[in-house]
Amino acid sequence: MRPKDDLGKLYTFGQLKPEDEIQLAGRQQSDKNGGSGNGGGGGGGPSGAALAAAAAFSVSDDDEYQSNKRGRQNRDTIIQHDEQFMMLTKKLIEIRSILLSIDHNETLKLPSIVVVGSQSSGKSSVLEAIVGHEFLPKGSNMVTRRPIELTLVHTPNSDEEYGEFPQLELGKVHDFKQIQRTLTDLNLAVSDAECVSAKPIELRIYSASIPDLTLIDLPGYIQISNRNQPETLKLKIEELCDKYIQEPNIILAVCSADVDLANSTALRASRKVDPMGLRTIGVITKMDLVPPSAGAAILRNSEYPLHLGYIGVVCKAPEDVDGNMTSALIRNEENFFRNKFEFNQRGVNVGTATLRRKLMNVLEQGMGRSLYSIVDAVQKELEEARYQFKVQYNDRRVTAESYVAETMDSLKHNFKEFALLFGKPQVRHEVRTMLEQRVLDICAETYWSDPKVSDLPKAASDDIYWLYKVDLASAALTKSGIGRSTTQLVVDILMNNMERLSAGEPFNYHNETRKQIASFTSEILRTKFLTTSDQVENTIKPYKYEVEVTDLEWQDGVKRTVALLEKELEMCDSMANTIKNAVGKTKLRGAIKFLLDSEREDQRRQERVRQQQQDGNTEPYIEYASLSDEEEAIKPLYNPKLLEKAREALFLRDRAMILKYRIAALKSRQCKTQENKQYCPEAFLNVIAEKLTYTAVMFIQVELLNEFFFQFPREVDNRLVYELDRQQIQRFARENPSIMKHLDLQERKGKLEDVMDKLNYLVRKQADRQARAKMGSFGGGV
């Protein structure tokens, strides 16, 4: 950080040099005499109408010179007066920043100083000399590609010097090299093809040693187009500069002393929008490159007169600088101008310090002039914003914080409702349904596909075949994995429901948050999964060896199984009907017949092969018989899809037949007692499934469900509310387009109200100042 003294001495109200006072007094004087202080200093200055118009801009070279004589006497009044003016600039710069943050609205515009000049004319060097730091992008490859809107904030009570990029979230940047790197990156992000972008980069610099100013650095004008810098780019830069040099901005036309002013694109452009030079300051750089007499001649303002005049500067530090570059630069400049009589004459203004003061004064006056027009413009915008806020939202306020809180409350509320509806009975129902389905699968595999199943009711009670089968079936049901599959079932249900809860309004706008909800849901469940499934597994272990069944349990089991099979039968019938309706009854019947005939034919063929092999004939069996003409005609009708449907219909018919047969068996006297369990395996397995369900649910409820119901709302609070910082809360709220619109309008209204308050204060102060000035002038006259 540069020592405050270096630049502090250039800008400290308490240490105004006589020249400072000269300018300020000059302004007062000019106020009094309507700008008539112009004595044609330097020759060729504006006259007549130009002077009348120039009265508004009271700071001219001549004012400065004339007031030199009176400066000292008025010191106290001036400082007071100056502070008030400074306050106006400071406040209006603050207001400008607020207005910029609302939008870059053309109607809400306060003046800024726009730096224009040809490439390499020294624009960056001048800006850096004003700021007192090297911070602008450097390089030969057109490094200024976007406007840089620079706001300098004078912070008299702080030693801290830093920059801020309001559009980026970088916070305070204390290292000016870092500011330079960021600006370079932002500029070079504009592609070589596009080369220039109108999107401004905002930068604020806070320091005790800078004045309150707003400056805009623009890409340099191209003098002669070539292959690398074609005509289109030249026009693009001119268009961009033209946009910025409009009123009320102040133009800083930077020209190099070693280039003829007649060739200055900056002056040419400024003359188009400000023919009398009322808001153009000419800055002649590189004064060290021309003889002092030639340099002074340019500054005398004779050939291309500007009311605000020219200031000569030398903004190049000597090569062998050791330490602070900017102070070396300023020393170098002071040494250069000090001993040359050409630069110590009336009408010749030189030095970065003079330039700074001039900029402050001109900006202050520009701001002062804009005060009343900006009050009107803001008032109009504010009325519109208030009206829209009333019409669209009935003046209902919303904050990003309240939106986050409401959204999460509604999530927790929906979660609570789900938790109430998903209690033990519901979990039991889900687990039972899963296990009953498994019972059906085991029965289908073990019994219903057994060709001897029709013999089962007539089998002897000690028939080992069926006794073994029933043990096999119950082992299949209780085998390891029940703990895992039942726990997984409940986990899946919870995951799906959490996904459902976070899918509706307004979560459809918050994809990241939905992912977060899914992620912590699965995290909570994962931590509970293993212990729960192990517990369930351990507690159902005894059922692998022995299942005790009471009569009542048996009867219930039979009843439930009958109901289950009847439901299954219903489903079979309904599916068969769907196929029948889709294919057509006759067509389906024909296709089924075709399938059955083919099956029978296959069996016959296999039988013949077997017979042949038994007879010792080793010749391969050859089929000579071919399809009859009629069969050939029908065959193409049975396309693979139709045959597939026919196969499904056949399967459903067989299954329905078995189900009817099993329902009848279960309803028979044989299945009244559990001693006959081998005749009624479905009922026996169902009773086991019920016992497994009961045990599993008991542990799932305690270990998994209760824990999850406890933790989920806490995680919602922790992760989605408490852990969010201000920016994240804002980002979240603005993901919802209707909230974003609401917040934007509300914020706009709030900022305009704030601006209006500040403006009203300034208007009062300004009125005070004017009243005091009048009284002073009256007293002075006496």
Which parts of this chain interact with ligand GTP (CB under 6 A)? 117, 119-125, 144, 220, 285-286, 288-289, 314-316
Neighbouring C-beta atoms of residue 418, cutoff 10 Å: 16
- The least distance separating ligand GTP from the CB of residue 286, rounded to whole angstroms, comes to 4
Q: Least Å distance between CB 289 and ligand GTP?
A: 5
User: Which residue, among 143, 139, 125, has the nearest Cα to 183 in the 3D structure?
Assistant: 143
For ligand GTP, give the closer residue by CB, 337 or 708: 337
371's tokens: 């005060």
The two three-digit tokens of residue 252, written as one number: 């800083």
Nearest CA among 330, 318, 321 for reference residue 5: 330
**Phi, psi dihedral angles at 216 (to 5 degrees):** -125, 120
Write down the least CB distance from residue 291 to ligand GTP, Å. Answer: 14
Measured between alpha carbons, how far is 253 from 411 in angstroms, rounded to an integer? 60
**Backbone Cα Rg of the chain:** 46
Name which of 23 and 121 has its Cβ closer to ligand GTP: 121
Nearer to ligand GTP, 125 or 746 (CB): 125
Nearer to ligand GTP, 95 or 348 (CB): 348
Question: Of all residues in this chain, which one has the CB nearest to ligand GTP in the complex?
Answer: 220
Nearer to ligand GTP, 314 or 431 (CB): 314
Taking the C-alpha atoms of residue 710 and residue 717, their distance in angstroms, rounded to an integer, is 12
Nearer to ligand GTP, 117 or 305 (CB): 117
Closest distance of CB 745 from ligand GTP, Å: 40
Residue count (the chain): 782
In terms of CB distance, is 81 or 286 closer to ligand GTP? 286
Q: Smallest distance, Å, CB 268 to ligand GTP?
A: 16
Sheet order of strands, 213-217 included: 162-164, 201-207, 148-154, 213-217, 113-117, 250-256, 280-285, 310-312, 349-350
**Closest approach of Cβ 215 to ligand GTP, in Å?**
13
Least distance to ligand GTP from the beta carbon of 274, Å?
Answer: 21
Distance CA 199, CA 145 (A): 9
Q: Calculate the CA dihedral of residues 434, 440, 445, 446 and round it to 10 degrees.
A: 110
Nearer to ligand GTP, 234 or 765 (CB): 234
Distance of CA 762 to CAs 77, 620, 770, 773, Å? Answer: 20, 113, 12, 16
Rounded to a whole number of angstroms, the minimum distance from the CB of residue 136 to ligand GTP is: 7
- The 3-state DSSP class for residue 225 equals coil
Nearest to 67 by CA among 105, 28, 31, 35: 28
Q: Which is nearer to ligand GTP, 217 or 381 (CB)?
A: 217
CB 120 → ligand GTP: shortest distance, Å? 4
Instruction: Write a three-state SS string for 75-136.
Output: HHHHHHHHHHHHHHHHHHHHHHHHHHHHCCCCCCCCCCEEEEEECCCCHHHHHHHHHCCCCC
Q: How far is the CB of 327 from ligand GTP (least distance, A)?
A: 16
Tell me whether residue 112 or residue 125 sits nearer to ligand GTP (CB atom): 125
* Whether 694 contacts 475, CB under 8 Å: no
